[in-house]
């Protein structure tokens, strides 16, 4: 067994509708480079997610699916932050004590409060085409910003988030047009087989309350952590211009600079270019 105790460890935090399983290829790449890796399922995600009963009845009843309250609606950002802090502390014991915390997409809402809470326990925080929000902003404000008008994720929603308590998509849809929209938004550069695999790893209800939690970061704590952003140039979920704007707003408000790196991928480089992503992470 490879001894990974002498190197930096990584904690990988997934985004909306995803789970720790999305990192499988990246975990293999990082472990192959000698690093310990922890990739968790956040509360309300992956093995911790539940689906409304209407999701399991096929053919789908659109009206029922659009109105049934989500069993994930009660999940809070505080629960997710606590889970990620526990993962950081686990990872520290597996490596040399130094931990790089990585968050993808909506996972940015989790890694920011972790960095604010335990800045001395994190060597670097990395936003992979993720929500990096200035203090006081909620994700919904960024999603609704005019610079994000062409983003493709909102077209996937099949229920009012306020009514059901979740950002709801149909991950088991038989509709080729709907699946084409899912692929375009998240996985535009995946092969057919990769896309099929990715679909099997998604859950349908992302807790809406998480997206409504205001960012709470300060220069005194969050601002002391080495901060990186991996810009995905071909992203159609969080547009490149939106990624740039978030970095600009946080840097201005915190008074420190985010190091920006680039990948030529769509929203999910952990599938389309795990080796390239691992190269960037190990360089960081």
Report the share of the chain in percent with pLDDT over 70.
100
Are 189 and 115 in contact, with CB atoms under 8 Å apart? no
Mean pLDDT, the chain, rounded, equals: 97
Number of residues in the chain: 284
Q: What would the mean pLDDT of 126-131 be, rounded to a whole number?
A: 98
Q: What share of the chain is helix, strand, coil (3-state, %, to 5)?
A: 45, 15, 40
Q: What would be the CATH architecture of the domain defined by 9-283?
A: 3-Layer(aba) Sandwich (3.40)
2 vs 210, more confident: 210
pLDDT tier for residue 224 given thresholds of 50, 70 and 90:
very high
Cβ neighbors of 280 (< 8 A, separation 6 or more) are: 230, 261, 263
Q: What would the mean pLDDT of 139-168 be, rounded to a whole number?
A: 96
> What is the pTM assigned to this prediction?
0.97
Q: What would the mean pLDDT of 246-266 be, rounded to a whole number?
A: 97
Burial 96-115 (b: 16+ CB within 10 A, else e): eeebbbbbbbbbbbbbbbbb
C-alpha 241/C-alpha 132 separation (Å) is 13
C-alpha 122/C-alpha 115 separation (Å) is 7
For strand 226-232 and strand 259-263, is the pairing parallel, antiparallel, or unpaired?
Answer: parallel
Residue 5: its pLDDT value, please? 81
Please check the confidence at residue 216 and state whether its pLDDT lies above 80. Answer: yes
């Amino acid at each position: 067994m490879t001894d990974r105790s002498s190197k930096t460890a990584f904690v990988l935090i997934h985004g909306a509708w995803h789970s720790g399983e999305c990192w499988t290829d990246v975990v293999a790449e990082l472990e192959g480079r000698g690093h310990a890796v922890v990739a968790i399922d956040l509360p309300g995600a992956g093995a911790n997610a539940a689906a409304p009963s209407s999701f399991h009845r096929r053919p789908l009843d659109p009206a029922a699916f659009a109105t049934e309250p989500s069993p994930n609606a009660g999940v809070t950002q505080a629960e997710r932050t606590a889970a990620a802090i526990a993962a950081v502390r686990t990872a520290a014991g597996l490596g040399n004590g130094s931990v790089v915390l990585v968050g993808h997409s909506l996972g940015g809402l989790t890694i920011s409060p972790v960095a604010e809470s335990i800045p001395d326990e994190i060597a670097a925080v990395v936003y992979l085409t993720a929500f990096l929000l200035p203090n006081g902003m909620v994700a919904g404000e960024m999603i609704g910003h005019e610079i994000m008008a062409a983003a493709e994720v909102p077209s996937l929603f099949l229920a009012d988030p306020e009514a059901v308590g979740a950002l709801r998509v149909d991950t088991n849809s038989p509709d080729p047009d709907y699946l084409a929209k899912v692929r375009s938004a998240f996985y535009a550069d995946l092969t057919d087989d990769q896309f099929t695999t990715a679909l099997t790893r998604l859950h349908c209800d992302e807790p809406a309350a998480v997206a409504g939690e205001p960012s709470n970061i300060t220069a005194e704590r969050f601002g002391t952590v080495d901060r990186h952003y991996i810009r995905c140039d071909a992203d159609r979920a969080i547009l490149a211009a939106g990624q740039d704007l978030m970095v600009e707003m946080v840097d201005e408000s915190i008074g420190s600079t985010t190091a920006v790196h680039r990948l030529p991928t769509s929203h999910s480089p952990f599938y389309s270019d795990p080796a390239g992503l691992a190269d960037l992470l190990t360089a960081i």
